[in-house]
Amino acid sequence: MKNKRTAIVIGGSSGIGYATCSKLISRGWNVINISRTQCKIANVENEMADVVSGSTLSDIITRTGNKFGSIDVLIYSAGFSMAAPIEYAKESDYRYLFDVNFFGALKAMQAVIPFMKTNGGKIILVGSLGGELPILFDSFYSASKAALEMLAREAYLELKPYNIKVTAFLPGGTRTEFTFKRKVYSEDENKSYSQSVSRAAGALADMEQNGMSPGEVADGICNIVYADKPPVVKASGFKNSAYRIMSHVLPEKLTLYFDDRMYR
């Protein structure tokens, strides 16, 4: 087993993480999935954990590194989303969101870095195009993904001397069950924002379900896994890459105008 490369995928039981596990297994990797439910792909090793429980996550990663002798790649693909107005968002909800989307990734990185400092490795944080362009009424998701992207940039600088390469990978809309797991506040909870939240959540769902397949997104992740010089930030696919470049070129208010029109 030790002569095979080892990848840890966090959130590999469904969606993008599942497709990534499938592609790595087919290429002969040791693949360890860490999630609350099993990844049902043959030969994927499953470790059951909630990423919110940082000590458990760290213990599993340490045990995996000791078992295989090294960890070559960490892919963090866990995520949580909620459609709610800032004014009425519940603290328990947005703190949980950040625990899953950001602090879980940080804990995973802290646990895996010691295993990569000798021989190098790759850390791929699955962010979102929504971390660069706000998703209306999904503000906490966008904020958490923006934080994840900045964490990748900072880690790239810190870990470069150890040949640990860090990338924030930014999918756009992707056809997964994630759409239907989103926590959408009720009409009573949204109050005066109710109709606007409903329209925005519906527009986002349509965008996702008409977007890229998880396999296409996983291909982009695998390209980074095999790249000698992976980018620090990379959007998934040509269309999303062009949209990201456009957002950096156009004036801020014009970008936000077009962004707003997508969800109204």
Kindly state the average pLDDT of the residues 100-110.
97
By DSSP bridging, strand 164-170 and strand 121-126 are: parallel
- CA distances for 82 relative to 107, 126, 137, 162, 197, angstroms: 22, 17, 8, 37, 11
Q: What is the pTM of this model?
A: 0.96
- Partnered with residue 168 across adjacent β-strands are 125, 233
pLDDT band at 3 (very low <50, low <70, confident <90, very high): low
Q: What is the pLDDT of residues 156-193, one digit of tens each?
A: 999 999 999 999 999 999 999 999 999 999 999 999 99
pLDDT band at 1 (very low <50, low <70, confident <90, very high): very low
- CA distances for 163 relative to 72, 179, 227, 234, angstroms: 11, 36, 13, 19
